[in-house]
Amino acid sequence: MCCLPTFFYDYRKGAKRVRGVCSACGQEFELAGVRHNAEGSCPCCGRKFTMKSNQKRGRIWDRETVSVVQRLRENELVVRILKASRWQARGCSAELDFYEETRIVIRQTKPGKFDVFPYHYSPYDAVLTPWKTGYPPVMYLYGQNFNAETCGYLYTRNLSRELKGTPWQYCQLDAFYEGIHDQMEAAPYLAAYPEIPAIEFFVKLELFWLASQIVYRGNSKDGRQLINLQGKNLRDVLQIDPSDLPWLQRPGSGVQDLLLLRILRREGHLPDGEFFFGSSVECVGKEN
C-alpha cells in the first residue's frame, strides 16, 4: 500500500502553478513547482504527499481497515472491523466498496476483568451463522491475508454516544487515537481500560506512549513493573517529580525517558536538555 497521501493535479504545459487535490484532507489548492512523482507537503493539512498527474496515472486503487465500536449491552461492546476499498479508473468516477470481516466482542468475564472474543466471517460452511469463532487465518498460500488485519483507522463520530453509561464512558479512546496520530487496534484498549482506569489519566496528561505501552505491551519492562498502578498521585505512579512531566510529553518520548528521569532524580540531578539531546535545550512544556 502507498505510504504517502497523493496530490492529484491536472498537468498544464508551461503553467507555473497547477490546481490539484490533496488525498489526505480533500482540499483543493494551487501549487508551484509541481512534478509527477515529486514529493511535497499540503499547505492545508501539512501532510507530506507524492504528486501525481491525472494524465499519467493509471487506475488508482487503495484499501484500508476501519474499526467501528458499538454497544451490545451495558457491559458489552463489539468492535466491527470493516475493510474498505476505493478504486478509480482514468476518466471514470470512483467506486467505494466495504465489507465486515471480523467482529471482536469485549465482554466481562470476572468482576473488573474483560476479555476479547473474536469472530470472523466465513460463509462457506455456514449452518446457523456465517460468523465463526476466532480471527481469520493470517496467512494464505500466496501471502498475507489482508482480511486478518485488525489494526486500522477508528470511526470516532459515534463513540461518545455508544460508550455513554457503559464502563468505557471515560476511557478516552478518541483522545488516545487522536494523540497517537496512527492506526490502532481498538479492542485491546477497550479490554484493558476497565482493569486499568489510570489509562484515562495518562491520555489526559498526553502521555500517549505510556497508555500505549500499558495497553499493548503490559506494565513490565525487563521483568520489572514499569509503573505503580496502585499509586495515589503522579509521584507515586510514575516515580518521578511532577515537574518532570513535560519531558515525558514531548513527541517521541518513551519508556527510556521515564527510566532516565528516575535515575537522574535518584542521583540528585535536575533533568535538562543536555541529558536528553546532548545540547542545552530547555524543556518548557509540550510542543504544540
Residues of this chain that bind Zn ion (CB under 5 A) = 22, 24-25, 42, 44-45
Closest separation in Å from C-beta 156 to Zn ion: 19
Nearer to Zn ion, 40 or 246 (CB): 40
Nearer to Zn ion, 26 or 242 (CB): 26
Nearer to Zn ion, 6 or 172 (CB): 6
Closest separation in Å from C-beta 148 to Zn ion: 31
10 φ/ψ angles, rounded to the nearest 5 degrees = -100, 120
Q: Which residues of 134-171 are buried (b: 16+ CB within 10 A; e: fewer)?
A: ebbeeeeeeeeeebbbbebbbbeeebeebbeebbbeeb
| DSSP label of 219 | S
Pairing of the two strands 60-73 and 153-155: parallel
Closest separation in Å from C-beta 10 to Zn ion: 17
Closest separation in Å from C-beta 25 to Zn ion: 3
Do residues 214 and 238 lie in contact, with contact meaning Cβ atoms separated by under 8 Å? no
Rounded CA-CA distance 272/260 in Å is 11
Nearer to Zn ion, 26 or 143 (CB): 26
